[in-house]
Amino acid sequence: MKWLLVMMLASAPCVADVQRQWQSEIVPILESYCFDCHADGIKKGDFSFDAFPDVASMQAKRDAWKRVRENLAYELMPPPDRDQPTSDERKKLIAWIDAAVFPVDPNNPDPGRVTLRRLNRFEYRNTVRDLIGVTPDIQLLPPDDAGYGFDNIADVLTLSPTHLDSYLTAASQALDQAYRKAQPPRQKLPRESFQGQYEKYAQHIVIPSNRRLHRNVRLEAGRHRAVFYISGQQAGPDRVKARLSFGSQTKTISLADNKPKYFSLELEGKAGEQTVAIEFLNDYYEEATKKDRNLLIHQVSVLGPIKSDVARPAFFPERPSAMGDEAYAALALRHFLSRAFRRPVANEEIARYAALAKSQRSPQQSLEESLRVAFEAAMVSPQFLFREMHAVYAKEKPGTILPVPELALASRISYFLWSSAPEDSTLSLAAQKQLRQNAQREVERMIRSPKSSALIERFFAQWLQYQDVAFIPIDKQLYPSARQLRKDFVEETRRFCDDLLRNNQPITRLIDADYTFVNERLAQHYGIPQIQGETFRKVSLAQQQRRGVLTHAAILAVTSNPNRTSPVKRGKWVLETLLDAAPPPPPPNVPSLPAAKHGQSAATLRQQLETHRKDPACASCHKLMDGIGFAFEGFDVDGRFRGPDIDTRGQLSTGETVDSPAALARLIAGQRVDEFHRAFAAKLLTFALGRGLDYYDKPAIDQIVAYAAKHDHRVQSYLHAVIQSYPFQHYRR
């Protein structure tokens, strides 16, 4: 919860002290400013202080007091047309609420509850990719819900029968692809490419008499297999007979019925041309009955070069030469299941999956092919689809605080940094209970890996919301270039955030950087000269008004309306994203501003908002947002600079004045930097834990920010601090 992360007290005094302070200091302030509407039988806004005679009753309804604290902190209450408490009085009320209703003890931290976490679509995609070497089609899966700004929040990742059907389909298709990739290259030989006399039909060709069809095929050096899919049209006393040839290899066959059958010949040789041939040997025709014996060719293919005796997907372990089928099946299953379940597997589990594969195996299948059904079953198992399984198996009584087991910690770290399963080396460390003591080195290795780009795609993209520019509506008549530049908008911010991570920049560079990343199209759009080509490159910003992501086109577009800029949305984005202080939603039935007309000036929009703020129901929230948002008015919906003649002055609710995104960046990176650092820590911890934060998470935020401060608040220091934090390393049963 955002407001809890700026609480002023590190620990709470005893209940008697806060109760005495309630009577002697707090009630008099509330009587002066609040009781007229919220006490003595009056219950405006469905809230009354009458329901809270003591601290215990307040702690029993913390959600109600959350709203009280928010309204005080954001100066939403008392309403603007009522007497207001002084700054000191407001701070005293907030400090007392923190101490009495939301006490925290850093010496006895609470790591929070653990909820089973289903893999979201992105995590599922990456996990399957790293497990079997094939990227599954996640469009087959239902979209994930989001909470607290992220799509990896455990409470919203439900599992329905539709999900299970979709996971089964996705797993089956991915395994299809993995097994196909293991097959040797295949050349299909068109039926019509054979030389000789035949009759052509839609699905096959017919050799009507004792004739031979042949064609040459060019092969690489090595072993190849010609595969013939043929059938016979039976007549007379004998079966259809044929001779198949592949280079120097021949085979005479007979066909027992009319059903198509597969036949094959193998050839080992040097590179060059070889002949593939089919000869019908026993033509028969009975004039009286018109019965006719024929040979039908449905398909002919050549496979090769063949590297091994079996088609073994890449995720299979090597098979020792003397190992029998049963032992190798157990070896392959242990290798697969331990990686799929992110832990060592028991012999009983292996036996269960081996029995499934054995029961479903057909005589035509190789051992490798028969294990596919076991792999598919594992990929729809709860052990694969869910995380935090350690909480299910813990035997301690509910409420007990426990360290996260090292194997589960390996998954926590890996899904945080990579949105994928841990590698074998990390699991091995965890199995030996060596991960915690080597965590810093392991985390640094994982950050250096290309897989850590998942942090950009999932954390930064969702936190900053820049990926939304690919989908939001933008008026094509007013902003015709935005349609062609959407991908460039996203790529600019993605590359900027990736540079921030790879070069371990201070997190304030996000808002005050004097550089960005552009290609030729985007440079022309921004008015940056001498940039050519498709390639994005780092450039310095000559325009003093542009700084950090605040003036990236992606951010400016997602915080606008389709046909005009929106100081309200831009101000809300800064509060919610950069300061973790989202204003409450607007009251019901508040009309929107009129739609923009072509050529409408920024001055007209400012006048409309000033009129809008005269409504007391709107004034408090707009006081928070509009002053920030006006600073962005020099930039249009599509990110272009609109010129120096626009009034961009705005006053923040705390009294400071800003007139550009650059001025706002200086303010946030200066006197408001503590709020910014805490906001970043809170967002990162929310993403890492997969849950919303609560008041008892304040000590963890304190420690994360304190650790980062020792390392110049660089991005990677926050990653290390989050992983070492108490709620990341522990859980409440």
- The CA–CA distances, whole Å, from 406 to 448, 452, 686, 723, 726 equal 22, 21, 21, 13, 14
Confidence (pLDDT) at 654: 76
Distance of CA 348 to the CA centre of its chain: 34
Q: Is residue 592's pLDDT more than 70? A: no
The whole-number average pLDDT for the span 233-258 is: 93
Confidence (pLDDT) at 80: 73
Is there a contact between 52 and 58 (Cβ–Cβ < 8 Å)?
yes
Q: What percent of the chain has pLDDT over 70?
A: 92
Is there a contact between 220 and 257 (Cβ–Cβ < 8 Å)?
no
Q: What is the mean pLDDT of the chain?
A: 89
- Amino acid sitting at position 617: A
* 463/456 Cα distance (integer angstroms): 10
Neighbouring CB atoms inside 10 A of 453's CB total: 16
In a domain, residue 277? The reply is yes
170, 171, 174, 175 alpha-carbon torsion, rounded to 10°: -150
Confidence (pLDDT) at 122: 97
* 493/667 Cα distance (integer angstroms): 22
In a domain, residue 474? The reply is yes
Confidence (pLDDT) at 20: 87
pLDDT digits (tens, 9 = 90+) for 717-731: 999 999 999 999 999
Confidence (pLDDT) at 464: 98
Predicted confidence band of residue 609 (pLDDT cuts 50, 70, 90)? low
Answer yes or no: do 657 and 522 share one domain: yes
Q: Of the candidates 671, 696, 724, which is a domain's last residue? A: 671
Predicted confidence band of residue 6 (pLDDT cuts 50, 70, 90)? very low
In a domain, residue 447? The reply is no
Question: At a CB cut-off of 8 Å and minimum separation 6, what does 512 contact?
Answer: 547, 548, 662, 665, 666, 669
Of residues 577 and 83, more confidently modeled: 577
Q: What percent of the chain has pLDDT over 90?
A: 66
Answer yes or no: do 203 and 95 share one domain: no
pLDDT digits (tens, 9 = 90+) for 624-670: 778 899 999 999 999 999 888 888 888 887 778 899 999 999 999 99
In a domain, residue 609? The reply is yes
Residue 199 DSSP SS3: strand
Confidence (pLDDT) at 525: 95
Q: Is residue 618's pLDDT more than 70? A: no
pLDDT digits (tens, 9 = 90+) for 163-214: 999 999 999 999 988 987 767 788 899 999 999 999 999 899 999 899 999 9
Confidence (pLDDT) at 622: 66
In a domain, residue 712? The reply is no
Predicted confidence band of residue 303 (pLDDT cuts 50, 70, 90)? confident
Answer yes or no: do 96 and 242 share one domain: no
Min mean pLDDT across 9-23, 228-242, 420-434, 464-478 is at 9-23
Q: Is residue 55's pLDDT more than 80? A: yes
pLDDT digits (tens, 9 = 90+) for 423-435: 999 999 999 999 9
Answer yes or no: do 192 and 96 share one domain: no
Give me the domain span that covers residue 29: 2-100
Min mean pLDDT across 73-77, 209-213, 644-648, 685-689 is at 73-77
pLDDT digits (tens, 9 = 90+) for 446-470: 999 999 999 999 999 999 999 999 9
* CATH of residue 247: 2.60.120.260
* 444/502 Cα distance (integer angstroms): 11
Residue 361 DSSP SS3: coil
Q: Is residue 154's pLDDT more than 80? A: yes
Answer yes or no: do 568 and 473 share one domain: yes
Q: Is residue 584's pLDDT more than 80? A: no
Q: Is residue 502's pLDDT more than 90? A: yes
Min mean pLDDT across 291-295, 630-634, 641-645, 692-696 is at 641-645
Q: Is the pTM of this model over 0.85?
A: no
Answer yes or no: do 478 and 620 share one domain: yes
* 282/295 Cα distance (integer angstroms): 9
Answer yes or no: do 585 and 465 share one domain: yes
Confidence (pLDDT) at 1: 31
In a domain, residue 234? The reply is yes
SS3 content of the chain, % helix, strand, coil (to 5): 45, 15, 40
The whole-number average pLDDT for the span 230-235 is: 92
- The CA–CA distances, whole Å, from 326 to 337, 350, 354 equal 16, 11, 9
Answer yes or no: do 607 and 499 share one domain: yes
Confidence (pLDDT) at 655: 78
Is there a contact between 230 and 286 (Cβ–Cβ < 8 Å)?
no
Predicted confidence band of residue 8 (pLDDT cuts 50, 70, 90)? very low
Per the structure, how many domains does the chain have? 3
Q: Of the candidates 671, 690, 707, which is a domain's last residue? A: 671
Is there a contact between 231 and 260 (Cβ–Cβ < 8 Å)?
yes
Is there a contact between 652 and 627 (Cβ–Cβ < 8 Å)?
yes
pLDDT digits (tens, 9 = 90+) for 331-379: 999 999 999 999 999 999 999 999 999 998 887 778 888 999 999 999 9
Q: Of the candidates 41, 75, 100, which is a domain's last residue? A: 100
Q: Is residue 10's pLDDT more than 50? A: no
Answer yes or no: do 664 and 547 share one domain: yes
Predicted confidence band of residue 9 (pLDDT cuts 50, 70, 90)? very low
Is there a contact between 691 and 729 (Cβ–Cβ < 8 Å)?
no
Q: Is residue 593's pLDDT more than 80? A: no
- Helix ranges, 515-669 (H): 520-526, 553-558, 567-573, 602-612, 616-630, 661-669
Answer yes or no: do 598 and 469 share one domain: yes
Q: Is residue 517's pLDDT more than 60? A: yes
Question: At a CB cut-off of 8 Å and minimum separation 6, what does 84 contact?
Answer: 33, 75, 78
Answer yes or no: do 77 and 198 share one domain: no
In a domain, residue 727? The reply is no
Confidence (pLDDT) at 589: 61
* 438/447 Cα distance (integer angstroms): 14
In a domain, residue 383? The reply is no
